[in-house]
Structures are given as structure tokens and as C-alpha cells.
Structure 1
């Protein structure tokens, strides 16, 4: 049997089905604000009826836009799958951008080779903007972005570039204060902390919030450092117990690291919360699945992602500047403290 290729519907088909001119269809599809409500509704109905799909290449010639945004994760690739926060940010950003018919491309920039690939992609003009995820201060990619003059917004402040790269973030410092004060009010005397990387805003600001409350009691031996991975939480907890065997509380800078810390405390025969109270940060899905369930600080990740996308789209649409957004956190108490 001969096979007949079905012709793809064209913009002329949409014009005939909608009863308006081809030019009106084109303006409606490209978001022209001067298209009447009635004409826009007719075009949308005709698009649905004909199955017409916008040719992105042709549209980009007219609008000088690619219809694509790149999300850059400045971490090793495995962290994308280990840390549940990244999946939330990716899911929400994808959904919000889709509402504007903008595609999201995910790229990892965990080493020099990855960063070079990201820069080549952006230099090639393949994206209208960049969403930065887990950016570290001193990352050479940041300087490259400035030379490219491409709109960029960060999930979380970029240390040292807070006034240059707009961002949306949770109030990390205040959230850490909430947790530290809660542990103090529980009567805990030797409170330690496990920080995230100190070249990230979460790592630095959560440590500062801890120190705001503990003051002189926040001595060096009660501070250990991790990288937000479960493994680093385990290593840091062992380090703290070796240095301060009688510690009675620990504030951990992420839920994933806190899960690692809880495993080590069980391994060492320490009861939680009777012997050692444990608090985390994020209120990710992990917090409800640990044993015992984790007292933590909830940061509004979905709202952070939503605001980050909003800021970027405003810049892409031509705004000269946008104001960064800092969102409040909440203390969530469960069985671990």
C-alpha cells in the first residue's frame, strides 16, 4: 500500500479557519498586545482545531528570541539526582516557563570542561536567559556571563555579586536563627553545627545565623563543614563526636546532610532526641522519612523558583533592572528535636 504523507497545517490554514488575516494570526501567535480579544480567541480556537504548531526557528527570526532558557547547576552531575531540592526547582521552573511557551534546557557546570560547554552554548545565541542554581562565589562562569551580557538570575544570592545578579532566595540567616534559638530554648548546652559550603549563600548565611544566637558558645570545635551531600553529613558528624563527645544538639545545614548525621548518631549509640537533638534545613521530602522524623527549617522552594523565573522573564522582556526577592522561612518541629 502506498504511504501518503499528511501535510502539516500552516499559518494559512489557521487564518482560513479563524476568519482573520495571516498577518493577524502572526501577530496573535507572537504576543502582539494590539490583537483584539475576539481575534485572539478565534486564532487560539483555529490552532487547536487544525493542530498547527508554531515553527520556533521562523518565530526567532521575527522576535530575535530563541524561546529557550538555560538552567545551569554549578555542582557535580550526581547532586542533581541526590538532592531533592534541585528536582523541586527544576520542576517548578519548567512549568512556569512552559506557561510562556519557553523551553528549559538543563546544563551542569561542575568542572572546567562543563563550564566551557555552557559558555559555548550561550555564545552561540541558543538561549534568551540563564537561571543559576547553586552558584559558588569565585566561579569563573560568572565573569563569562557578564561579558556575554545575557539576562541571568540566580536561585539564591551569588556571594559577592548580590548587586549585579538579581536573585530570589529564602532568608537563610533568619531560618538558622530560628533553629538555633529553638535548640537553646530546649535547654541544650553544647550545640554544634554542620555547615554547607561557605562559598554559597546557604552555607555562609546559615552559619552566621547560628552564630548570631550562640555568640561566644559557637566555638570552632563545634563547627564542621559539609557540601550538602549525605556522605559529607556523615563525615562531619563523626568529626564532631570525636572532638566533642558530650555535645547534645546539632543544627545541620540541609536535610540531606542531617539524614547522614542521624545515621552516624545511631551507629555511635546516641539516642535522638534524648541524647542529641538534631535540626535540619529545607523541609524537603527527606525530613518526613528519617527516623526519627526531622525537625527542620522550611524554605519555600516552589515560591523561590517561581520568583526566580518571574525576575528572569522580566529581564528578557526588556526590564532594565529587577529587585531581588527574599522570602521568609518557618520552623517545623518533629521528633528529632
Structure 2
């Protein structure tokens, strides 16, 4: 009967140890550990000897030991201060998650999803971050009350934000699109179509994107000499959009154009308009914002403003990795992507 080969270092068939690597390489255990786990203060000759011993013995490094030497966890968090149900149903978050992971995967970095609303959840998350269980974080969908930019700056933890933080934008790197310009594009399109009573379903008042898109709409309708009082606020959900559209129609029955600050809300608005017997775009033209897949599936297909979310999330992730690698200081730089109008059938 043949026997399975045993490890040449220990003669017992067990996994090779760091001590055996050190003996074979002719170096101390500490030097072997630093050479294997990426630490400093190892000569090229010692590094080569250790590498040869690792190959000869088939040694597999201990991840925990590597972390002690490098102070790296090889994990990055995506921080989303939103309820679970929104994160797993809104295409905005699905696209963000995929884009962040697309940059991390080639680096063999683990993505950790952290969901935390203000209160106990946020305090628990901040304790987790403060204990350095991750190397850094990408933050998305932040609100005025979460003050995450200030928290990350005080922790000194590498981070990058997708979207301009409500406060603390001078303390952290962020990537955004020009939301004000995007909303202007939408409102100007409605004016060019001949709409004269243009309303808007704005985003939440505690988010920078909601306020910026409202400002862009207002500036465009004012420049056209039109009234800017037809405003309802939604929460970036389809249900919220339907509710806000019904509110607008009840208050301003003469509406002939609506700019909606997200495509999910616009889908809800289209349903509300259909229920009210208003044809789109014949009676009311509708333009959304995002272009993340919802717009094409609407009836009629939705004219919308495209924000390049995948590119934004990937850029934010690269900014984060540059900080983790030491190639960039955590300076409050910003990268702004231009929006673009995508014309379909609704407006």
C-alpha cells in the first residue's frame, strides 16, 4: 500500500510552520514573518531566501499574522445610511454596489456592507469603524443629520463619498455629478417643448442632491419667466413619487410639465398621472433623473437626466484605494461628472 507523502520540514504530514520556513531560509522567525507578510526592514537576500523556503515547503501565510504586520484588514466598507428595504430594492444602490466591487475584486479586497441610520445603528457602526476593522470606506446616500464626513475626518480613516456631503465637504474627498446643471437641462427641455406650468417633484430636503436639483429646476423656470411654486417633495421612492404627483395635480390642475428628481419617483408619477386620466406627454410631459434602467421600462419610456453613477462609484473607490496605498493624502478633493439629457417618449 502506498503512503501519502509527508511534509519534508516536520515529517508528520502537518502543515508547514513559520518556524520551519525560518530555519530553512536561515533567518529569524521575525524576519521570516516580515518577509512573508509585507513588512519593512527585510534585506533583498533574506526576502529571496524566505520566498524560496515558502515555495519548497508549500507554506501558506496566516492572514491574522499578516494583518498584525501590515495593519491592513484587506476589507473595505460601503457605508449606506439607509433602511435595508431601500438598499435592496433601489437600482441606485445596486449599481453602486456592483461598481465598487468591480474595482475591489482585482485587488482581492473584501467588500463589507454597513447599513446605519442615525441613532443606535450609527453609533454602533462608528464604534466598528473606530476599531479599524476595515481599511477604509466608500459612503453613499448621506443625509444632513448623519454628519458622516465629520465622523470620518475625526477618525482619520480613509474614505471617499459618492455625492457631495451635506456638511464637511471640505474635509473629505467626494465624487458627484452636477445636479444643479442636470435639473436645468430637464427644466429647459420642458420649456422648449412649450410647457408653461411646470412643476417638480423634488428629492428629500435633507440631502444635497435633493436641494441642488430643486435649485436647478427653479433657476431654469425663473429664467423662462414662469412660476416656480408648483413643488412637492418625495423620498426617492416610487410610492413617494406617486403621492407627490397626486398632491401636485390636486393643487395645480393646470400642470403641463413635471421634472421629477429621480426615475423611481417618476415611475410613481406616471402611474398617478395615468390614474388621473392625464396622457403623457400629450397632457403632461415628464422628465426624470438617474437613467439606471428604470427609465427604459416606464410607459411611455422616460426622458431623463443621466448621472454616470457607475463611473462615479468607481472613481470614488479608486480615490479610496490611493489613500489606503499611501499614494494620496486624504485631501478634500472633488471630482464632478457632467450630466446628460437622454430623450425618450415622456418629455
TM-score of the aligned structures, taking structure 1 as reference length: 0.85
Tell me the CA shift for residue 146 of structure 1.
3.3
Find out whether 1:325 has 2:335 as its counterpart. yes
1:309 is paired with a residue whose SS is helix
Residues 58 and 224 (structure 1 numbering): CA distance in 2 closer, same or farther, change over 3 Å? same
What residue in structure 2 maps to residue 294 of structure 1?
A: 302
* Separation of aligned partners in 1, 2:227 and 2:90: 28
* Separation of aligned partners in 2, 1:186 and 1:252: 16
* Separation of aligned partners in 1, 2:295 and 2:13: 52
TM-score of the aligned structures, taking structure 2 as reference length: 0.83
Question: Contact 1:178–1:331 at 8 Å: present in 2 too?
Answer: yes
* 1:39-50 → structure 2 map (5 Å cutoff): none
What residue in structure 1 maps to residue 279 of structure 2?
A: 271
What residue in structure 2 maps to residue 219 of structure 1?
A: 228
Question: Contact 1:77–1:110 at 8 Å: present in 2 too?
Answer: no
Tell me the CA shift for residue 100 of structure 1.
2.0
Structure 1: which 5+ residue stretches go unaligned?
none
Question: Contact 1:157–1:166 at 8 Å: present in 2 too?
Answer: no
* Separation of aligned partners in 1, 2:176 and 2:346: 26
* Separation of aligned partners in 2, 1:132 and 1:331: 26
* Separation of aligned partners in 1, 2:169 and 2:113: 23
What residue in structure 2 maps to residue 238 of structure 1?
A: 246
Residues 331 and 14 (structure 1 numbering): CA distance in 2 closer, same or farther, change over 3 Å? farther
Structure 2: which 5+ residue stretches go unaligned?
1-5, 7-11
What residue in structure 1 maps to residue 3 of structure 2?
A: none
* Separation of aligned partners in 1, 2:311 and 2:134: 24
* Separation of aligned partners in 2, 1:31 and 1:101: 19
Please provide the CA RMSD for this pair. 3.2
1:152 corresponds to which of 154, 159, 180? 159
Q: Pick the structure with greater CA Rg.
A: 2
